[in-house]
Chain A
Amino acid sequence: MMDLLVSRDYYVATFLLLGIGTYVMIASRNLVKKVIGMNIFQTGIFLFFIAAAYVEGGNPPVLTMDAPHVSPLPHVLILTAIVVGVALTAVALGMVVRIYAEYGTLDEETLQEVRGSE
């Protein structure tokens, strides 16, 4: 067990992040915190890709450096995914702002009460 934790520490961290993110999204009543939970969840996935690309003793993937190189492709992919994540966060926060302007609350349950009486 300890072995696993030490030798696969990045993957353990990945699933911790995924777990925390999911928990925050479900358990938190505050809409902004839900968005934060979503970000933590995505960060877990980013870490997963980057960890997978790592090679023991590897150098940055630049031609002038000696082999072995770490795999460059996942880095590129995750760069794209981060951009997507930023865009998502922006849209989500935009909606949160509109919800607050409309209902005057960010609390999920209060929101339900307010909307129930619509």
Chain B
Amino acid sequence: MAVSDLAALVVALPIFGSLVAFLAALVRSKSGWPVAVAATAAQLAVTVTLAVRAFGEGTITYVVGGFEAPYGIELVVDGLTGTMLVLIAAVSLGVLAYARRAGPRSNPFYAVFMLLVAGLTGMSVTADLFNMYVFLEITGLSAYALVASGDRGRSAVAALKYLLVGTVGASLFLLGVGYAYIDTGTLNMADLAVKLAANGYTATLTQTAFALIVVGLFIKVAVFPLHTWQPDAYAGAPDTVSGLISALVSTVAAYALLRVVFTVFGTAFLDANPFAHALLVGGAIISILLGSLLAVSQSEVKRMLAYSSVSQFGLIVAAISIGNVTALTGAAVHLVGHAIMKGGLFLTAGLVATETGARSVDEYEGLVKRSPVGAGVFGVLAVAMVGVPPTIGFAGKWYIAVGAAEAGSWTLLAVIVGSTLLTLAYFARLVERMFFREPTADLEPAVERADGALPDGGDLGGSDPGSASLGMYAAVVAAAVLAVALGFAVFGYGDVLQSTIEALLS
């Protein structure tokens, strides 16, 4: 089998896994987990192979069904795609380790889980705009369903809101794709780039297409003020699911934004249209500042983490708006870093809730005595998120900031550097409560459950709510270790990624 076939396999494999997980229920109930683990492990192996090849030998392309581009659908794996593919597979595997005990455990859950992996993978590899829309919707659909898999009404309300807003985002994206198609008669990204350039960058159709696509993706990335679905969705979802979608869904949407802005429209378009540049810069600055401010005022830990994501994705949009090699390397590093840190934080929040029942900022008082591992990991990840070197949180921010200095955007530089303090503002509050206060009231997980405040695993039975499994500990500890260790690997990564980014910008 040729290497390029692997590009198709990474999409097919999780879809196949999803089907098997669904059908396995006919043979034996609760058999979804092993199927999902097997499929994701295989997926990880394939994606690592692909990524190594993409970094070593350059871009891999695959033409679906033998229809040559630009008429057929093309799948392209370059360094950036490879990064995303490995990230998706690795995070999914980590979340699965966590989900073993934390649930939900039904087979349909794992079927949808694998479908989400397929959608995300597809968004990463495709080189066709309409195909990207389809995968965007597959991702969206499975994410809505996963959010709703919590057994409380709150999950369903959050999921419906997510669905309505998310659909509008995807539809705007589709409308933008329509404009680009009318303009050029093609949907292949590389081909679009050539034809859009030929039409001239100041054509109204091109400008409209850009605006619609970017705003559509802003909704999916949850850039302020289009973030309203996100805190509800993250907070309302079961812990397993919030860990997964917070780590991956917005991340891949941001990757799609990066891909569309640079592969389809290109830096020349941004240079020719000040409004386009202003849209990105404005979204970035507002997100960074207001996301952090909203995070400070939250009383529920998961909502606070959700608003923190709004702010962190502001950083990535800032990197896209800067658009030089250093900043985009920073965007890639921060996408990976944020996925690990934020996914880890959500899983830790879930672990803490399982062990102690604590879910609000006030309930975290004296946590270190009740859940030492949870508090320790939370502390490490919070420090990483703030951007204390040598963690990966610092590395991403450093690249983006150096990129801003190279480009001479001093306002952005000030906001990026200053965002450290804003991040500190909401994490310090929590760290202080965890380590330097006595617990005020004894919370028992069982009591919380009676109130219906513990969302996961409710109808599944068989598990002791107060105990966390080895897999749960392993997942969160791995996230903390990676958040620190990857900080040292960033330079080597930036080095191999350079050719990809240069190709992207040329």
Contacts and interface: CB of A to CB of B under 8 A. Distances in A.
A19 interface: no
Contact of B154 (A49, A73, A115): A115
B285 to A, nearest CB: 27
B145 interface: yes
A80 B134 contact: yes
B174 A99 contact: no
Contacts of A52: 178, 181-182
A43 to B, nearest CB: 10
A117 to B, nearest CB: 13
A77 B163 CA distance: 21
A118 B400 CA distance: 43
Interface in B111-165: 130, 133-134, 137, 140-141, 144-145, 148, 152-154, 156-157, 159-160, 163-164
Contacts of B171: 41-42, 45
A84 B164 contact: no
A98 interface: yes
Contacts of A115: 153-154, 157
Interface residues of B, number: 27
A99 B153 contact: yes
Contacts of B130: 77, 80
Q: Is the interface of A mostly helix, strand, loop or mixed?
A: helix
A8 to B, nearest CB: 13
A70 interface: no
A102 interface: yes
B164 A91 contact: no
A52 B178 CA distance: 9
B160 A95 contact: yes
A99 B148 CA distance: 10
Interface string B187-221: 10000000000000000000000000000000000
B175 A48 contact: yes
B156 A49 contact: no
Interface in A78-115: 80-81, 84, 87-88, 91-92, 94-96, 98-99, 102-103, 111, 115
Interface string A52-82: 1000000000000000000001100100110
11 contacts: A22-B168, A35-B164, A42-B171, A74-B178, A74-B181, A81-B133, A81-B174, A88-B137, A95-B159, A95-B163, A115-B157
Interface of B: 130, 133-134, 137, 140-141, 144-145, 148, 152-154, 156-157, 159-160, 163-164, 167-168, 171, 174-175, 178, 181-182, 187
Given A41-B171, A102-B156, 19 more contacts: A25-B168, A35-B164, A41-B168, A42-B167, A45-B175, A80-B130, A84-B141, A87-B141, A88-B141, A88-B163, A91-B145, A91-B148, A92-B160, A92-B163, A95-B144, A95-B148, A95-B156, A98-B156, A111-B157
